[in-house]
Amino acid sequence: MWWTKPRDPAGALLLPPAVLELLVRAFAIVEVGGITGLGPDRGRRFERLFYRLCDRLGVHLTERAGGRSVAGQRSASGLAHEVDGATRAGVANTYWELKHLSVPVEKNELLIFNAKALDFLYDASRLFRRTPLLRFLMSGQNLRDECRLYAIQWGIIIIEPNRLPLPLIYEALMRGCVPDLSAADQRAVSELAPWACRSLQQVTADFVERSNADTCTPESIRRRSREVSAMQEQIGSDILDMLEAQYPEWLNDLAQTEWDRLGGWA
């Protein structure tokens, strides 16, 4: 499929290949929807579906629901934070938050997820500190605009319905799948998407740099986040249309494939 085509070697690699493969299928699942159940039961079904998808793709989860560490790393505070999912690899560790609520994800969910990640990184082992930590929030419902901006600022990659995830927008460009995209739009994607998909270590380094620099203001980070959000909404929609024109029904077909291989969403 389009995300497996050869990519521009000059483009930064935002995600390891196995994580990219997981991300595109996770997006197809939330885009198509259809997970049944109410309240906590639907959330548990959502988690189990994600775990079965990881198992099928050979993505080894070091933690699942009920876990109290990320890639084996305990929190600096000693608080037993609950972890929905995590992976460990030499190129990057990942930390996943899974939400399927009846209402949009609230700001406290993002604040807590971000704070927990910082607690795992603070006073972590040397190996954990040196390995990029990529964070994902997979949601069956759309986020509020202000929550989406917060996630962008802190490098949390959102997987939600009706919005092509930022790494996939970037990969479509890097793999030559959007030849009709204007030069200005291509520059916007190549500059903004990598910034929004930073590891937690990159975000914290940027935070320290901004705190120590007289020229950086809060307005600049807010402006950049809004630019990313607008790019995702506008250019991302155009890219999704271009992909659909070249690969008709690719999302539905991908979701159907996973439905068949996983035996449904139950």
**Cα(9)–Cα(218) distance, rounded to whole angstroms?**
34
pLDDT tens for each residue of 179-193: 999 999 999 999 999
Helix (H) or strand (E) holding 206: helix 200-212
- Return the pLDDT at 67: 95
Q: Is the model's pLDDT at 4 over the cut of 90? A: yes
Q: Is the model's pLDDT at 63 over the cut of 90? A: yes
**Cα(232)–Cα(84) distance, rounded to whole angstroms?**
26
Mean predicted lDDT score pLDDT of the chain: 95
- Return the pLDDT at 104: 85
Q: Quick one: DSSP state of residue 8?
A: -
pLDDT tens for each residue of 5-15: 999 999 999 99
Q: What is the mean pLDDT of residues 96-121?
A: 94
- Return the pLDDT at 97: 97
- Return the pLDDT at 127: 97
Compute the residue count for the chain: 266
pLDDT tens for each residue of 208-251: 988 887 766 666 899 999 999 999 999 999 999 999 999 999 99
In the block, tokens 């939400």 appear at 99
Sorted by where each starts, the structural domains of the chain and their CATH numbers stand as 2-262 (3.40.1350.10)
- Asked whether 266 and 186 are in contact (CB, 8 A), the reply is no
Residue 232, amino acid: Q
**Cα(235)–Cα(237) distance, rounded to whole angstroms?**
5
pTM of the model: 0.96
**How far from 55 is each of 16, 49, 67, 87, 223, CA to CA, in Å?**
17, 10, 17, 12, 39
Give the rounded distance of the alpha carbon of 144 from its chain centre: 16
Q: Is the model's pLDDT at 110 over the cut of 80? A: yes
- Return the pLDDT at 183: 97
- Asked whether 185 and 173 are in contact (CB, 8 A), the reply is no
- Return the pLDDT at 214: 73
Strand partners, 83: 67
Q: What is the mean pLDDT of residues 42-51?
A: 95
- Return the pLDDT at 17: 96
**Cα(45)–Cα(21) distance, rounded to whole angstroms?**
21
- In percent, the amount of the chain with pLDDT more than 70 equals 98
- Return the pLDDT at 181: 97
Q: Is the model's pLDDT at 61 over the cut of 90? A: yes
Residue 119, amino acid: D
Residue 132, amino acid: P
